[in-house]
Amino acid sequence: MSLIVQKYGGTSVANIEKIENVARRVIHTKEAGNGVVVVLSAMAGETDKLIALAQSASSEPDEREYDALISTGEQVTITLLAMVLNRMGYRARSFLGFQVKVLTDQAFKKARILDVDTEAIKKELEKGTIVVVAGFQGVDGENNITTLGRGGSDTSAVALAAALRADVCDIYTDVDGVYTTDPNICPQARRLDRISYDEMLEMARTGAKVLQPRSVELAKKYDVPVYVKSSFSDEGGTLVTKEDKDMEKEVVSGVTYDRDQAKITVVHVPDKPGIAARLFTPLAEHNIVVDMIIQNASIEGFTDLTFTVSRKEAKEARVLIEAVATEIGAGKIEVDDNVAKVSIIGVGMVSHSGVAAKMFSALSREGINILMISTSEIKISCVIQAKYTELAVMVLHEVFGLSQKR
Amino acid sequence: MSLIVQKYGGTSVANIEKIENVARRVIHTKEAGNGVVVVLSAMAGETDKLIALAQSASSEPDEREYDALISTGEQVTITLLAMVLNRMGYRARSFLGFQVKVLTDQAFKKARILDVDTEAIKKELEKGTIVVVAGFQGVDGENNITTLGRGGSDTSAVALAAALRADVCDIYTDVDGVYTTDPNICPQARRLDRISYDEMLEMARTGAKVLQPRSVELAKKYDVPVYVKSSFSDEGGTLVTKEDKDMEKEVVSGVTYDRDQAKITVVHVPDKPGIAARLFTPLAEHNIVVDMIIQNASIEGFTDLTFTVSRKEAKEARVLIEAVATEIGAGKIEVDDNVAKVSIIGVGMVSHSGVAAKMFSALSREGINILMISTSEIKISCVIQAKYTELAVMVLHEVFGLSQKR
């Protein structure tokens, strides 16, 4: 008997009819002789409604209370699915984070899973029960409810699969797999049959919405095969797994983009040790994540420093940076939130030269100016003007031959 | 410093504006130098919405899942109130049943509280925190979420007050106290300043909706003074407390009615030992509560047996009774769900004679036929035709002089 963890997203459980569809899919898996653990998100739109409710109570809601409020969305879907499964004649039981229990750190709104206690679930699986677990939530060491951030249900599913040593973790979503790029802006996008953990991780981090990056980290760490599938069709699917020989042939596997970017430049910064630390410490203290950082060559003891943050945090970042800039005698601050980041990802980059040059010249041919560049072993990202996002994606998808099945 | 438990019902927390009103009232109590523990119900109408959702998943929803679903209503209100209090500058923390923890038995949908762990709450109170607890919910010994039945938040509040040895338990509701009868059908109804636990218990059991009977039982057992007040006004209020000398003067303190009644008669029952047990055991096994039971004098070895159940359980009760009736050779079953129960309650009945006679003749003068009678030391109930309910209440309220302040 195999043990299969299945995660269904918000659109798959948006109403009772859809929950019944999920139930039939779960039963199908169960009847094929498998143990099944189901992880659910809240109904599509429900979490947003709860967030709006919290905002109506306070413009800055207490984070502990916020998490306890928005975690109710999953409590609704898991109990409804368990009821439907029971009605259809199958023993099913819902589990909340505290009932499992899914232990996290105390970082409300973006908690990380520290441990998953499998005892209660295993006991139910032994009885043949279909176990239905609330995604997105856990409890800290003091039994406070925590949530894992947007897309956190993916991470719940992978963490459960890892802890239970499940054979596979199926992520059912509204697309039928991982694509070479976003099919909404590039019709030539092609579904990948397989992708390595590392590539998937870079894709998730640079803008692909299909999986939460943390879930891919966990899948890699515990070697959990993750299968991304559509909950509305039996076709397709993408297996996220260990790198193998076939994959290494791909120079570039995907193109991603992220419009949630703002570029901040501090002009005329005295080029002295410790200055960068002074500039970025206040941002870290306010939990503002800085993505790229570029420091120009120093001219006469002064330099320009440019970095990117999430667009919605640009205003706060500017205020924090301005305070320091005055202290250290730097020049003015320039904020440009009309930028986007496009990235190409591929494990083959490691062994192929000229990939970066090919990317830059492709963009250049279209007259797209590159504002910032950042690279890793398997990724090259460029910040460009936001209006060129679609064009850049199309061009890069074309130039690296991603529409052809290889 | 006094410790005050305050419970607010669904109409008092129906939206953010009303929750803000509750917050102001809580802060007022806190600023007067008291420790405050707040117990909340779900937003008015919310529990009904969740019940409808459960019904859409299954006509007979699994009870464990049902409780886990409907308990989300209180999770929403307590977190919102805690956010509002925090915004207003007061340290506040919400507690769910499992976080307190409120230990109950495993009778889903109508669980009884077995124990309240006060450690976590006391720790917060010592820090000056306003503690906000979810009413209506607890957990059983296996961490399954349970609910306490309609009006269960009253019971949560009294149980917390008892466990914390609070000085008083304020029950804020949409009426400003306990009335001699329902003011909606009898404009002469008068608010009582005080009422004894025993009288309040009989009133709650015989149809008064203002408090859940179980909450009054607990208040009596642990001697918790309960103050029923309006959350929309500072006027009025009724103190439910130990019997005192003044109260004993009242022959009748209140008139109640209950329209949720059905009368079932089993005709021509062989009058042999064990027959009643055989008839009522199946009902007990199906958790159908039998209220009154009357057995007529035996004629030639046969008798008629009449009893009342809740109207919505009459159909199921009939089916169960019919099966036994056939086995024991009884005659036909008659069900009348067009009946109601009117009751008079008063601790003074014990020492006054003629109260019952006065009740019966008052009803008789109005041509109201009495179908069944049941009495306790401080209560007399009559089952009558449903259409006479209002008339009977008005007449009894008048004949026992309840509109005059004494």
Query: For A235-256, what is each residue's pLDDT tens digit?
Result: 889 999 998 776 656 789 999 9
The CATH number corresponding to B3-174 among 3.40.50.720, 3.40.1160.10, 1.20.58.340, 3.90.1280.10 equals 3.40.1160.10
> What pLDDT does residue B236 have?
82
Quote the pLDDT of residue B404.
80
Residues A291-297, mean pLDDT to the nearest whole number:
84
Q: How far apart are CA A117 and CA B89, in angstroms?
A: 38
pLDDT of residue B51: 96
ipTM of the complex: 0.86
The CA-based diameter of chain B, rounded to the nearest angstrom, is 78
The kind and range of the H/E element at A262 are: strand A254-270
Partner residue facing A69 (CB), from B76, B92, B144? B76
Judged by phi (left if over 0) then psi (alpha if -120 to 50, else beta), residue B151 lies in left
Q: Which residues of B touch A76 (CB under 8 A)?
A: 50, 53, 69, 72
Contact B63, B109 (CB under 8 A): yes
> Residue A206 — pLDDT band, cuts 50, 70, 90?
very high
**What CA–CA distance (Å, rounded) separates B379 from B359?**
11
Read off the amino acid at residue A270. P
**Whole-number pLDDT of residue A246:** 64
Q: What pLDDT shows up at residue B249?
A: 63
**Closest to B143 (Cα-Cα) out of A93, A299, A274, A292:** A93
Q: Does residue B124 contact residue B35 with C-beta atoms inside 8 Å?
A: no
The sign of the torsion formed by the CA atoms of B153, B158, B161, B166 equals positive
Q: CB-based contact (8 Å) between B83 and chain A?
A: yes
Contacts of B216 (CB under 8 A, 6+ apart): B158, B197, B200, B201, B204, B226, B240
Give the per-residue pLDDT at A249.
63
| Confidence check: pLDDT of A74 > 70 | yes
Instruction: Mark yes or no for CB contact B98/A16 under 8 Å.
Output: no
A51 touches chain B (CB under 8 A): no
Segments of B214-326 assigned E as strands: 226-230, 238-241, 254-270, 290-295, 302-309
Q: Does residue B267 belong to the interface with chain A, where contact is any CB pair within 8 Å?
A: no
| Ranges A278-287, A314-323, A393-402: which has the least confidence | A278-287
Of B57, B76, B93, the CB nearest to A84: B57
Q: Write out pLDDT tens, residues A101-159.
A: 999 999 999 999 999 999 999 999 999 999 999 999 999 999 999 999 988 999 999 99
Query: From the centroid of its chain, how far is CA B331?
Result: 36
How many CA atoms, within 13 angstroms, populate the side-chain half-sphere of residue B11? 9
A99 CB within 8 Å of a chain B CB: yes
Distance, CA of A17 to CA of A40 (rounded, Å):
15
**Domain range annotation of chain A:** 3-174
Nearest to A75 among B61, B68, B80 (CB): B68
- A-chain residue closest to B54, CA distance: A80
Cα separation of B402 and B250, whole Å? Answer: 10
The helix-helix angle for A72-87 and B46-57 (nearest 10°) equals 30
Mean pLDDT over each residue of chain A, to the nearest integer: 93
> What sign does the CA torsion over B83, B85, B91, B96 have?
negative
* Nearest CB to B65; choose among A68, A94, A143: A94
Give me the residue label for tokens 């305050």: B6
User: How do A254-270 and A302-309 pair as beta strands?
Assistant: antiparallel
Indicate whether this model's pTM tops 0.80: yes
**Residue A162 contacts B, CB cutoff 8 Å:** no
Listed range (A109-118, A121-130, A268-277, A380-389) with the worst mean pLDDT:
A268-277
Tens of pLDDT along chain B (406 residues) come to 799 999 999 999 999 999 999 999 999 999 999 999 999 999 999 999 999 999 999 999 999 999 999 999 999 999 999 999 999 999 999 999 999 999 999 999 999 999 999 999 999 999 999 999 999 999 999 999 999 998 899 999 999 999 999 999 999 988 889 999 999 999 999 999 999 999 999 999 999 988 999 999 999 999 999 999 998 887 889 999 998 776 656 789 999 999 999 999 999 998 888 888 888 999 988 888 898 888 877 788 888 889 999 998 999 999 999 999 988 888 899 999 999 999 999 988 877 778 999 999 999 999 999 999 988 889 999 999 999 999 999 999 999 999 886 5
Beta pairing class for A168-173 and A226-230: parallel
